[in-house]
Structure 1
Amino acid sequence: MNLPNLLTSLRFVLIPVYIGIFATGRMIPAFFIVVAAGVTDVLDGYMARKLGQTTPVGAMLDPLADKLMIISVIVSLLAAGHISWWAAGALFLRDAAMIVGGLLTHFGGKKNVPANWIGKLTTVLMYAAIMFIFFEAPFARTYLWAVIAFSFVTSLVYLTAYQTLNKTKTPPTNV
């Protein structure tokens, strides 16, 4: 196992740690676990590219670890009454679709769309929304809805890129 994949694995370990700390009502330490997960996300991607250690397993596990951490945060914030059912549902729907789509792509032998700037921006904006919610900023819920809308636009960008990347030329038919 290379170092980038080890960092991705650490994100999976941080999920139950986050849940345990959040469940005790310690919001600030829980938030810093989320930040630690975000830092490992940035580091593993950077190191994989810089060290030439990108792997198919890492390409599948990295976004999965990301989505599972975000889903854990969403569920915990929903359970604590910090976000609405509608916001949680929209985020869950989008992230679940991304996970299922990624798995179908991987196991279906299709080409995976690599992370791009709009996906990375969406992740940064989501982490900012989480921070605003944790620190109870008055505009946090409005900002969260803006990020949710942006995340659906990002999904459409990825879907278009996926279709272009996996486009197969069909032979012309003689009618």
Structure 2
Amino acid sequence: MNLPNTITLFRFVLIPVYLWAFYGTESEHKVGALFVLLVAGFTDILDGWLARRNGQETQMGQLLDPLADKLMLLSVLFSLLQSGRVPWLVAGLLLFRDAAMIVGSAFFYIQGKRAVPKANRWGKTTTVVYYVTICAVMLQWPSSDAAEELLWVTVVLSYITTLLYVASMRLIDVRRRVL
């Protein structure tokens, strides 16, 4: 087990910590939960950077890293939905997309298609927008209307990114068959 994978596993531990901070505080703004989420985001950046820099990219890391991200973001969405901070339609679209990504990745892995497209600018941009949007929603800043607009931008961007990801998977599959 290398350091980047250990950091990724730590993100799984942060999921119940986030939920405890979200539901265990009376504060309307949930600053503690937001802090845990930002630590998770930082560790996501850190583990990828360390893996690339030290040549420690592994199959396990390629599978666990996006799973940890998706499970954290699903937990955040469920908590925000349950607390009435996110509309059902927005949450449903984002939850469906993330759940489909988890199931799709598992399906491809089981089918032996273990090549995973590298994170691209679209994916990284979507992740940043996701985090900014969640911060705006949790802090209710600059306003709840602006936060809802950001939510819709996040939905559209996440689906564009998903389509690009699926296209990348198809390209990898085509290249594999040709070679």
What interval of TM-score do these two structures reach, taking the shorter chain for normalisation? over 0.9
Q: 1:123 aligns with which of 121, 127, 132?
A: 127
RMSD: 0.9
For 2:117, the aligned partner's letter is V
Gaps of 5+ in 1: 170-175
Q: What amino acid is the match of 1:7?
A: I
Q: What fraction of aligned residue pairs are identical, expressed as a percent? A: 44
Shift of 1:159: 0.7
Which digits, 9 at most, give the CA deviation of each residue in 1:31-65, with x for residues without a partner? 00000000000000000000000000000000000
Q: How does 1:18-167 map to 2 (within 5 A)?
A: 18-25=18-25, 26=27, 27-110=30-113, 111-137=115-141, 138=143, 139-167=146-174
Normalised to the residue count of structure 2, the TM-score between the two structures is: 0.92
Per-residue deviation, 1:135 = 1.1
Runs of 4+ in 1 over 3 A off after TM superposition: none
Equivalenced residue count is 169
Deviation of 1:97 after TM superposition, in Å, equals 0.8
1:122-145 residue CA offsets vs partner (Å, 9 max, x unmatched): 001000000000110210011111
Contact 1:106 1:112 in 2 (8 A): no
Which structure would you say has the larger Rg? 1
TM-score by length of 1: 0.94
Q: In structure 1, the residue corresponding to 2:118 is in which secondary structure?
A: coil
